Structure 1
Amino acid sequence: MTEARQHNLVKKRTLTTEELVAIQQLTELCNRHDELYMRLDWNLLANRSGAEVSDFLYYQNDELVGYLMAYGFGNDERELTGMVHPAQRRQGIARTLLQTAREEYTGHGVHELLLICEQRSSSGKAFVESVGAHHAFSEHEMILTNFQPRNRFDDRLAFRPADSDDIAALATIMSATEGTLVEVEEPVIQQRIQDPVNHYYIAIFGDNEVGCHEPVGMLRLNEMHDEIGIYSFAVIPDYQGRGYGRQILEEAIYAVRAEQSQKTIMLDVDVTNERAFQLYRSCGFDIKTTYDYCSIALA
């Protein structure tokens, strides 16, 4: 594969083992220096599809001193996480990386970049402000520290792994809870369900006395290097407030513990979603850190 170079900057569709090691070393160095937690999905980085440029690496004297990663699943936005070696900051490296990403995605169906910045990062917040990004939303990252199950299960709710035959049902649940179109959700789920690190689960309501078996809830378990992430957690509005969300969450935790007992279980929640936040807290999740998502519009 031919690398596109611009001075000391390299744009990549896939990453080599050497590049992954260098990125991991830079991440650990920046986290220690800034006392932060820069979250990268190493399974994702190691298994890039190569469909588009998603990684931007900046070198000085053959040493990786800056890195920007992009993430997106076929939609019109890309989430960006970046870092610069503490000794090489204030040299315009971060701006160069961001500008290269802007040029890469402009005119290719991407209309928005979301810069992810940990709230306690003073340097990150200053950079976001300096480039004119506007705060869009914030999320708490929560980890399970002391599981508190209630084990109050409604036997009419069946919770099971989902497969490709369930894509339409999963898309319908997401559409009902997020206010999106089913035809928008289906290709995203189709792409994710084919990735072995993603495990979808679906909750079906009904029994022999109920005339139908209705899909009412879902979630996705994302298997990372040392964590299991809970994502796409949804219960359709008509079934909310009945305890089904907690039942689905508890059953998912039991499923993870049965297969990956040593891995940390984590999830993200919008800071304004008090109802979901209280559910997670009552189940034993605690806040690890909080991220701001700041938007840059592309022409």
Structure 2
Amino acid sequence: MLNEQQLQNVKSLQNICEQRDGILLKLNDDMLRMPSREEHMDYCHYEEDQLIGFLALYGFGGQLEVCGMVHPDYRRQGIFTRLWNEALASGRLTTASSVLFNAPKASLAAPEWLKTIRCRYSFSEYEMAWQADQMQEKSTEVQATSVSYRPYEAADREFVLQLYMDGFDTDEEDTAGMLQEEAQSSKRIRSMIVYHGQTVGTLVMDYDTPAQAWIFGLVIDIAYRGQGIGRSILMQMIRRENESGLQPHIGVETQNDNAMRLYESCGFRSYAVQDYYDLRL
């Protein structure tokens, strides 16, 4: 786990890279701060006491995601390659079921470096922010009294595992690991979606980014889809977070047209794209 000074150094370097490159990096500040964060997950390169390179591994169940950065004035010196080789030498990646590199589509440096290792493009994800004036009224929206939500409980575990396998085609072990990691985070809160008293889905709210509330992992039981439940719960989350002074955000794969239409009808608009690359170990 990084200490407070190191975390401040990471944030400072992130700000420099984002401003100079015109990008948004997914560095998952909440996960970097977890007391339970394992060893060999964070790699730093300093020159004259200044952090100029950083690479982090993030565990989502059995899957690892990789994200990092190098100060714009120090690129093309092999710094990120050194950090990557350190991560490889640690043996941490050999325990992962899969490894994904995350890179902003707007980045010019990331694709060039990714060509030097054994990886291939996998998918892209829109990052979307809610805009009040973009909401579309729907006369067929399910009444809020029919759809509600409640806190996640340990007894919901098997149902969530099944929802994620059916809805996202995820591995049971990966999802179980993700639930375990959520339980250790104070900024990720899972809720269960209820329809006429029946638990029919789940979602996660993430409060890692100041002034933002991120909606993740929204999935409805296949037997209850097409009834407006997803839209109804989204609107409830939007109203709740907006009234508390937070701007709702959500991510969606660029190929998921149905989800895109739903999110746009609720007032979300895309502002950035993140690319993901699958590493072949």
In the superposition, the TM-score normalised over structure 1's length comes to 0.84
Which consecutive unaligned segments of at least 5 residues does structure 2 have? none
In 1, Cα distance between the equivalents of 2:28 and 2:175? Answer: 22
Structure 1 match to 2:99: 113
Equivalences for 1:54-133 in 2 at 5 Å? 54-75=41-62, 77-105=63-91, 108-133=94-119
Look up the equivalent residue of 2:268 and give its one-letter code. Answer: F
Look up the equivalent residue of 1:153 and give its one-letter code. Answer: V
Compare CA radii of gyration and give the structure with the larger one.
Answer: 1
In 2, Cα distance between the equivalents of 1:184 and 1:27? Answer: 29
Structure 1 match to 2:178: 188
Backbone CA RMSD of aligned residues:
2.1
3-state DSSP of counterpart to 2:38: coil
Alignment of 1:178 onto 2:168: yes
Look up the equivalent residue of 1:24 and give its one-letter code. Answer: K
Structure 1 match to 2:224: 239
Shift of the 122–108 alpha-carbon distance from structure 1 to 2, 3 Å rule, reads closer
CA shift at 1:231, angstroms? Answer: 0.6
> Does the 8 A contact of 2:67 with 2:102 survive in 1?
yes
| Bigger shift: residues 99-108 or 120-129 | 99-108
Structure 2 match to 1:222: 206
CA shift at 1:183, angstroms? Answer: 5.9
CA shift at 1:187, angstroms? Answer: 4.2
CA shift at 1:182, angstroms? Answer: 4.9
CA shift at 1:102, angstroms? Answer: 2.1
Shift of the 153–291 alpha-carbon distance from structure 1 to 2, 3 Å rule, reads same
Alignment of 1:52 onto 2:42: no
Which consecutive unaligned segments of at least 5 residues does structure 1 have? 1-13, 208-212
User: What's the CA shift string for 1:163-203, capped at 9, x where partnerless?
Assistant: 33322332232233123455653443243134221111112
Larger RCO: Structure 1 or Structure 2 (Cα < 8 Å, ≥ 6 residues apart)? 2
3-state DSSP of counterpart to 1:90: coil
Look up the equivalent residue of 1:79 and give its one-letter code. Answer: E
Look up the equivalent residue of 1:271 and give its one-letter code. Answer: T
Structure 2 match to 1:166: 156
Shift of the 81–169 alpha-carbon distance from structure 1 to 2, 3 Å rule, reads same
Structure 1 match to 2:251: 268
Structure 1 match to 2:9: 22
> Does the 8 A contact of 1:137 with 1:270 survive in 2?
yes
In the superposition, the TM-score normalised over structure 2's length comes to 0.89
Shift of the 149–48 alpha-carbon distance from structure 1 to 2, 3 Å rule, reads farther
Shift of the 103–245 alpha-carbon distance from structure 1 to 2, 3 Å rule, reads same
CA shift at 1:49, angstroms? Answer: 1.3
> Does the 8 A contact of 1:111 with 1:297 survive in 2?
no
CA shift at 1:108, angstroms? Answer: 4.1
> Does the 8 A contact of 1:167 with 1:190 survive in 2?
no
> Does the 8 A contact of 1:198 with 1:222 survive in 2?
yes
In 2, Cα distance between the equivalents of 1:255 and 1:246? Answer: 14
Aligned pair count reads: 276
Structure 1 match to 2:142: 153
Shift of the 52–141 alpha-carbon distance from structure 1 to 2, 3 Å rule, reads same
